[in-house]
Amino acid sequence: MSKIQVMNEVLANKIAAGEVVEKTMNVVKELVENAIDAESTEITVKLVDSGVKQIEVSDNGIGMDEEDARLAFQRHATSKLKNLEDLFYIESLGFRGEALPSIASVSNICLKTSNGKVGTKLTLTGGENMKVERSDLQQGTTITVSDLFYNTPVRLKYLKNLYVELANIVEYMNKMVLSYPNIKFTLINNDKVLLKTDGNGDLLKVIYEIYGIDITKKMIPIEGENDDYYIHGYISYPEVTKPNRNSITTLVNGRVIKNNELNKCIIDCYHTYIHKDRYPVIILNIDVDPILIDINIHPTKMDIKFSKLDTLKELITKKINERLEELTLIPEVSVRDSYSVSEVHRQISLKEEKEDKEISTANYEEIKLDFEVQEEKKKYEESTKENKIEESKEEQIKYKKEARIKKMIPRGVVLLTYIVAENEDGMYLIDQHAAAERINYEKVLKEMKENKKPVDLLIPIKIELRPDEYLLAKDRFQVLKDQGLEVEEFGGNTIIIRTHPSWIPEDRSEDIIRRIIDMVIEKGSFDLDKFIWRMAATTACRMSVMANTYISKEEEEWILENIRYCENPFTCPHGRPTIITYTKYELERLFKRQLD
């Protein structure tokens, strides 16, 4: 008897379920995406015990007749692909024809559907014993999945606790409502409404429903296109950060995806604005001709391949950088003015009362940047036309540009770390190290790009390395030479440095050069742009006055004057804030001179 046998359909579906259905979120994902493909405008997800006991997804889509309902539970039965060419031009969310039979094989499932002409009800137990009967004619489809993994207890025990399973579902649903603001979504668990949108197409309102008023006020619209891609959505102010990458939502033709290269591209745009362990809030829609992407690379369809990925990354980087450079990013201590306070109260009231009144995008645009910052920007633009940076000390940056911050008058230093300053708009606290680090960082980076003549070392620096480190350093000698370091082999896994770039201070040259060599020989892939940024940031840190250090009045003035003219005066190269402000209005509120 032959040892090789063709497995039966039920077994094949259970194996497929291992790829498609790992947790309750996967079931919700597949059913919701089917509902979207069915042209639904309303989708409701009802859960019992985070979906472990029951998941019900109902929609008002086009529905099915009895024949299609029967075929839906056969493997590789789909209405979305007709031939091989269709595989390269996929516009639907689902297309494999594996989800329903896979889910049915590990649960009890009931499907009620109607196309408006005939109503059909199907029930299956573990993917078998299909029972078909007539149902009502309410157009749309309702699928109820009960007792998930009841017949595969090994899979059941790997489910997380109910809170984790529910958190995964909520995270997925959040991304779907951001992807389809024109669809009315409702999510209910154990009769408690967790998410509800009105489907009016206003993306900013959806952001408000998910993240709340404080973050919505700090979201910035972004839009741009090139020959291949069109991007649009919202990015957050750098002061709005989250502890993980889940705050970055990328959507391609309406499909929620996770692509490491795109996430890295977005995070790199913020790399000198926020701390390395924090992440911005991003909702980025990418529209592209389906022929330029391949979504058929993973059973969950969460990752895709891009043609011309470099042009997409260039577009994203350009547009995010442009928007960040346009902003005044000085964090303020709290809600600053009566306009913002009243707007917050109005929005909270609207949410509590659950009114259906439409809140226009224009209203959200008004709360996104508060009134006082808008006024401050207007005054600043007028004042900077008359201000020019003075050519003074040798340490000052030797180029002119318009100031991004109004002139500040120093009033002292507290805790040997924070400069206190003021102008007509309010009071400022400046971190002396972070601000000096930003000034020196931009100075060093500019000089690195200009590649000035190197400085000869009176006494060459010898650096002994491990054999593996020596090989990495030797492989990257040219990188060091391009930056003005004359590097030679000295034998015995030792290198010698005879010159260094002009931007390295003489009194700290050996320390900084050794740190540069350490960065070059770090194992892993070598990124030249990141290396240059880290080298400039490391050098700037060692050049700058430290916290808990006394500085003179002249040094205070130097920091306050030079930080105004930095390209990004609001954060140090590592993303920490350099400056915060108490506006005049906020100070008067604190001392009860102003009442809301």
DSSP per-residue letters across 509-564: HHHHHHHHHHHHT-SS---HHHHHHHHHHHHHHHHSPPTT----HHHHHHHHHHHT
Contacts of 445 (CB under 8 A, 6+ apart): 532, 533, 536
Q: What is the DSSP letter of 370?
A: -
Nearest alpha-carbon partner for 73 in 49, 51, 40, 105: 105
pLDDT of residue 210: 85
Domain end call among 142, 162, 196: 196
DSSP string, 477-499: HHHHHHTT-EEEEEETTEEEEEE
Residue 423 makes CB contacts below 8 A (sequence gap 6+) with 406, 407, 408, 409
- List the CATH number of the domain containing 440: 3.30.1540.20
Count of CB atoms within 10 A of residue 248's CB?
Answer: 19
- Residue 595 has a pLDDT of 66
Condensed to tens digits (0 to 9), the pLDDT of residues 503-558 reads 777 777 787 788 778 777 775 555 667 777 877 888 888 888 998 889 999 999 99
In this predicted model, what pLDDT tens digit does every residue of 321-370 receive, in sequence order? 888 888 766 666 544 343 443 443 444 344 444 433 443 344 444 444 44
Q: Is residue 391 part of a domain?
A: no
Can you give the pLDDT at residue 399? 41
- 542 burial type by CB count under 10 A (0-12 exposed, 13-18 middle, 19+ buried): middle
Domain that holds residue 354: 338-382
- Within-domain flag for 555: yes
Nearest to 73 by CA among 53, 52, 100, 34: 100
Residue 333 lies in a domain: no
Total structural domains in the chain? 4
387 in a structural domain: no
Does residue 392 belong to any structural domain of this protein? no
Pairwise CA distance, residues 282 & 251, whole Å: 11
Angle at 268 between CA 264 and CA 273, to 5 degrees: 140
Same domain, yes or no: 89 and 145: yes
Q: Say yes or no: 80 and 189 in one domain.
A: yes
Q: What is the pLDDT of residue 284?
A: 94
pLDDT < 70: residue spans in the chain: 1-20, 75-97, 154-158, 160, 295-303, 328-401, 451-452, 523-528, 595-596
Query: What pLDDT score was predicted for residue 358?
Result: 40
| 509 inside domain | yes
pLDDT of residue 6: 53
Q: Are residues 364 and 497 in the same domain?
A: no
Q: Let me know whether 106 and 123 are in one domain.
A: yes
Whether 264 maps to a domain, the answer reads: yes
Alpha-carbon 229 to chain mean position? 19
For 432, the 3-state DSSP assignment is helix
Q: Which residues contact 489 (CB under 8 A, 6 or more apart)?
A: 474, 495, 496
Q: What is the pLDDT of residue 313?
A: 92
What CATH number should be reported for the domain holding residue 316? 3.30.230.10
User: Which secondary structure element, helix H or strand E, spans residue 587, and what is its range?
Assistant: helix 584-590
Runs of H (alpha helix) within 153-282? 153-156, 162-179, 203-211, 213-216, 260-269
**187 and 272 belong to one structural domain:** no
Same domain, 402 and 545: yes
The CA distance from 96 to 299, in Å, is 8
Please tell me whether residues 136 and 172 are part of one structural domain. yes
Report the alpha-carbon distance of residue 492 to residue 478 in Å, rounded. Answer: 20
Residues 102 and 177 in one domain: yes
Does 297 share its domain with 420?
Answer: no
Q: Are residues 127 and 220 in the same domain?
A: no
Judge whether 279 lies within some domain: yes
Name the nearest CA neighbour of 273 among 477, 585, 46, 570: 570
Does residue 139 share a domain with residue 16? yes
Question: What's the rounded Cα separation, in Å, for the pair 188 and 50?
Answer: 9
187 and 245 within one domain: no
